[in-house]
Amino acid sequence: MTLNDMMETKPLAKEPAIDVAGLTITARKEDGGSVPLVKDISFACRAGEVTALIGESGSGKSLTAAALLGVLDAAVYDVCTQDLAIARYRATTYDAEALSPIRGRKVGYIVQDPGSALDPTMKIGDQLAELFMIHRGMNHSAARVEVNRLLDLVRIPNAAARYDDYPHAFSGGMKQRVIIAGAVALSPEVLIADEPTTALDVTVQAEILALIDDLRTTYGMSVLLITHDLGVVYQVADHVIVMYAGRIVEKGPVETICTTPAHPYTAGLLASVPDLSRSGAAIAAIPGNPPKPGQDQGCAFSPRCVRAQAVCTTDRPHLLQRAQSIAACHFPVTSGGHLG
């Protein structure tokens, strides 16, 4: 076995699962102009951990995920990175085509709106079997054995008997398990899950999160979990990245982010999560809305921020190391979050 073979088969524990520097995504407009949507973000996801990417609707979470997988429509979006490492692929220049061989094989992807992820006219088992036949060169009967193992893995009761069912025979939670099965079929090192529990009721949500956490611990998978639900984050994440209007405003360990956040936006998100609030404390959603893409000035959060002063409306704060987290704020929250 050559050193290269060993590198291929043995994950290097220390190397981050995802390490991206200077990711910028711009949409081209028909009038020849462009809109910046994700602006120079840098982050790393440690191997074997769950990193949560959070932020309100429109903050750029799904675009970020799609860029990491090389699936953004090149006719619409321009993507740049200074450095991108994912599942041990590494490049200094962004190259969507070079990412295609790692998609599915090394990086599993649960897309945000999985409506079209399953073909309603095809048996569940056959849809999964195709992955093994195409990527592993298996014949149908060998693939069928793998599919049954996979359906078992994602805890579909009586898995072998469900092979021949069509998607309509599955509940929402069971369909999501099948989609997860598809994402992890080829034993990827990294799983990017974009809002995998959003459409599900609370009990099923908890089961799906437990399943994802199980895949992480049992198979050493690294997970980038995208959600706007801080309750979910608190349950499963190790690290948290907070996005606002296309930028990272804070990142740090889950304990810090959920107890002593430095950024008023993170603190505001926390205050609006019932389960994380002090009993009896009022649940306050953050008033106002994020700016439209391309229309922010200074700190994009300043129009909604109770701590904002004049400088916040003109000068964009840079990410700086705070006591526990890294945050971009001129007037960070210093004495604990609402749980502190």
Ligand X SMILES: Nc1ncnc2c1ncn2[C@@H]1O[C@H](COP(=O)(O)OP(=O)(O)OP(=O)(O)O)[C@@H](O)[C@H]1O
Nearer to ligand X, 37 or 241 (CB): 37
CB 108 within 8 A of CB 190: yes
User: Among all residues, whose Cβ is closest to Mg ion?
Assistant: 62
Report the residue from 62, 127, 197, 266 that binds ligand X according to the rule CB under 6 A: 62
Six-digit token pair at 147? Answer: 């599919």
27 binds, among Mg ion, ligand X, none (CB under 5 to 8 A by kind): ligand X
* 228 belongs to the binding site for ligand X (CB under 6 A): yes
Segment 38 to 67, residues that bind Mg ion, using CB under 5 A: 61-62
Segment 67 to 126, residues that bind Mg ion, using CB under 5 A: 112
Six-digit token pair at 251? Answer: 């990142």
Alpha-helical runs (H) found in 114-271:
124-136, 140-153, 159-162, 172-184, 202-219, 230-236, 254-259, 264-271
* 63 belongs to the binding site for ligand X (CB under 6 A): yes
CB 37 within 8 A of CB 76: no
Segment 264 to 323, residues that bind ligand X, using CB under 6 A: 293
CB 333 within 8 A of CB 261: yes
* 27 belongs to the binding site for ligand X (CB under 6 A): yes
Compute the radius of gyration of the chain from its Cα atoms.
Answer: 21
Nearer to ligand X, 76 or 134 (CB): 76
CA–CA gap between residue 99 and residue 90 (Å, rounded): 10
59 binds, among ligand X, Mg ion, none (CB under 5 to 8 A by kind): ligand X
Segment 90 to 119, residues that bind ligand X, using CB under 6 A: 112
State whether residue 113 is helix, strand or coil: coil
- For Mg ion, the binding residues (CB under 5 A) are 61-62, 112
- For ligand X, the binding residues (CB under 6 A) are 27, 35, 37, 55, 57-63, 76, 112, 228, 293
